[in-house]
Amino acid sequence: MTFPNGLCAFPITPADHAGRVDIAALRRLVARLSDAQVDSIGLLGSTGVYMYLTRDERRRAVEAALDEIGSRTPVVVGIGALRTDEAVGLAQDARAIGAAAGLLSAVSYTPLADEEVFVHFSTVARESGLPIVIYDNPGTTRFRFTPELVARLAAVPGIVAIKNPGWEPDETARHLAGQRGIVPAAFSIGCSGDWMATETMIAGADTWYSVLAGLFPEVCLGIVTAAQHGDAAEARRLDAALAPLWNLFRQFSSLRVVYALADLLDICHVEPPRPILPLPDAAKQQVAETLARLPAGITR
């Protein structure tokens, strides 16, 4: 397959305290992103709290999203699970419903060795038939993909892309060049870590997997478009306008902040799944004040 490069926007997954997905709210969220013409939607990513939802609820979420947007926007679905057989089942569900790809992390209670991760990913790709995006998320999983492991996995049929953690600006070019040298030409190299992504896209990454784009797709699309057209100054100008939000992300975590933003913007009134608590009132007021100071047009 040709992986949908560009901007991959990650919305929250609205759900009640029992983990039941609010289908109407989710449909509104993905419709906003599709209408904004993001390149793809990252459903049930970390921002979409995939690990806190049952298989049935994850299936309901994918069905609702695909029913809402059809084939207008490719959907990349989080399929991570503690067990390989569970990840295979989730990937099969996503493929049957019509997802474009699955986002797979190396999540485990027991620390994993490289060979265990290789077998896990290879098995999910082979048995599901769903194109797989490697999700390198060491901050959560405590597992980091080595260049050697990335090279091995990139050679596996059906593993088509990688979502890298954020790189500091002075390391971006080196990391990208090193990864380009070990993967096939068509293999998509992407980045997360919203506050570091602009420099990575300017340096030539293929995809920005963005938390903020799940709420503010237009400004994030502006950054990606500018970077793709070689207009680094414009990409950096837009990124600088978002600096107050990046500070909040670093201070409180992007997940808690986007839940607060969704509420303040009257987009979706839900709380993150327990044991994660919503921001306390003082922090939410800080988010509200930051939101009020953003330049006009950012919050679209």
The answer as to whether 279 is a domain residue is no
Torsion over CA: 222, 228, 233, 236 (sign): positive
Query: How many structural domains does the chain have?
Result: 1
Q: Which helix (H) or strand (E) holds 163?
A: strand 159-164
If one counts every other C-beta atom within 10 angstroms of the C-beta of residue 291, the result is: 17
Domain with 177 in it: what CATH number? 3.20.20.70
Q: Which amino acid is at 113?
A: A
Residue 225 lies in a domain: yes
Kindly state the tokens that stand for 228: 């793709």
Q: Are the C-beta atoms of residues 205 and 190 closer than 8 Å to each other?
A: yes
Give the Cα-Cα-Cα angle 40, 46, 47 (nearest 5 degrees).
70
> 296: which residues sit within 8 A by CB, 6+ positions away?
none
- What is residue 278's predicted lDDT score, i.e. its pLDDT? 96
For residue 245, which amino acid is it?
L
Within a domain: 127: yes
Residue 278 included in any domain? no
Quick check: is 295 in a domain?
A: no
Residues of the chain with pLDDT under 50: none
What per-residue confidence (pLDDT) applies to 167? 87
Check residue 1 and give its pLDDT. Answer: 59
DSSP β-bridge partners for residue 40: 8
Helix (H, G, I), strand (E, B) or coil at 122: helix
Q: Is residue 177 part of a domain?
A: yes
Residue 289 located in a structural domain: no
In a domain, 255, yes or no: no
Work out the percent of the chain whose per-residue pLDDT is above 90.
95
The pTM (predicted TM-score) of the whole model is 0.96
Q: The domain containing residue 186 runs over which residues?
A: 6-229
Mean pLDDT, the chain, integer: 96
Give the per-residue pLDDT at 215: 97
Beta carbons within 8 Å of 289's beta carbon, 6+ residues apart: none
